[in-house]
Amino acid sequence: MTDSHDWFADHLGPVEIIALTLPENDDATGWTALLAAVEAHTIRVLDLEFVRRNAADEAEFLAIEDLANPPAILAEFDGAESGLIADEDAAALLAELADGEVTAVLVVEHLGLLSALHAFEASGSRLLLDGTLDLDELDEALTDNESDD
């Protein structure tokens, strides 16, 4: 078994992609909360891209400085673009966006479980499955369970 530092460097926590439309104002509340989660080491931002639906009905990637009203705190995320979000990912969002609307697309790693996973593996466990649940399927399962009661 490698030492803890090497183990953490070689492993990823659960990763998910999140897309949120940007408000027309420069409200920084969400960005402040995201930065707090990063600073608390509960998540790591692996990619942050801004995508706009342009007049040609195409997905257009934007830099922070290209945004209409970027809150100042976005400077903290400058350089977070890693290219993990492909053109196909951005194009898949077009149906949800109005012309000119911008979405922030984040790929985040959840760090909260890494210590527990390390402890399990250090005691001989093997990780067999790691993935996310479809929210619609989860909601359906929870609704089915409620109706069974």
Contacts 24+ apart (CB under 8 A), 81-90: 81/47, 81/48, 81/49, 82/46, 82/47, 82/107, 83/47, 84/46, 84/47, 85/17, 85/47, 85/49, 85/51, 87/59, 89/17, 90/49, 90/51, 90/59, 90/61
- Residue 138 and residue 86: Cα distance in Å, rounded? 27
- Residue 80 and residue 59: Cα distance in Å, rounded? 19
Q: Please give the model's pTM, rounded to 2 decimal places.
A: 0.77
Residue type present at position 21 = T
pLDDT at 1 over 50: no
Per residue in 10-37, pLDDT tens?
A: 777 788 899 999 988 878 999 999 999 9
pLDDT at 3 over 70: no
Q: What percent of the chain has pLDDT over 90?
A: 50
Per residue in 89-112, pLDDT tens?
A: 999 999 999 999 999 999 999 888
